[in-house]
Structure 1
């Protein structure tokens, strides 16, 4: 699903116009970005949480040449799925596994 498809789905589910759905989605994305930029965590109970983690500088290898290179330290965004989302994603797998037994 891409952004346009998500906007269409939000508009249909919420019974609002595509313009209103686009505005709401863009506001959500802007606020998530700003919050994470400040170093704060976002938690939506049941859905999941976003946080920032520091990745230390490390040594790596160029796969083409095999030469050692330094990979700079940076901040990365992490997402951890909540129980409801995790359950929804994994339910079909669990059901299929039980059927095979």
Structure 2
């Protein structure tokens, strides 16, 4: 969970750098959290989604967190089974952190 948190902190940094005030940042954060949760496969299986929604689910970091939690709780998976998910989250962090930091420097 800590690894997931580190990999997803870019969302808050991006929202805060693109918003003009705190109210706008809170509204954007609520919007993205709702989209991330609804498209993650937490409430509906990803297999039953249309193709455009499956694409959104694949670029959604919450999807991988939900899959990891299901794998650990239901199947008792170990670190070797979760390696692919960790690499995907690491890829999210490597791609989005420099973008968020660059945008933060630009707005400062």
- Normalised TM-score (structure 1): 0.39
- The structure with the larger Rg is 1
Which of the pair is proportionally richer in helix? 2
Q: Which has the higher strand share?
A: 1
TM-score (norm 2): 0.37
Q: Of the two structures, which has the highest relative contact order with CA contacts closer than 8 Å and spacing of 6 or more? A: 2
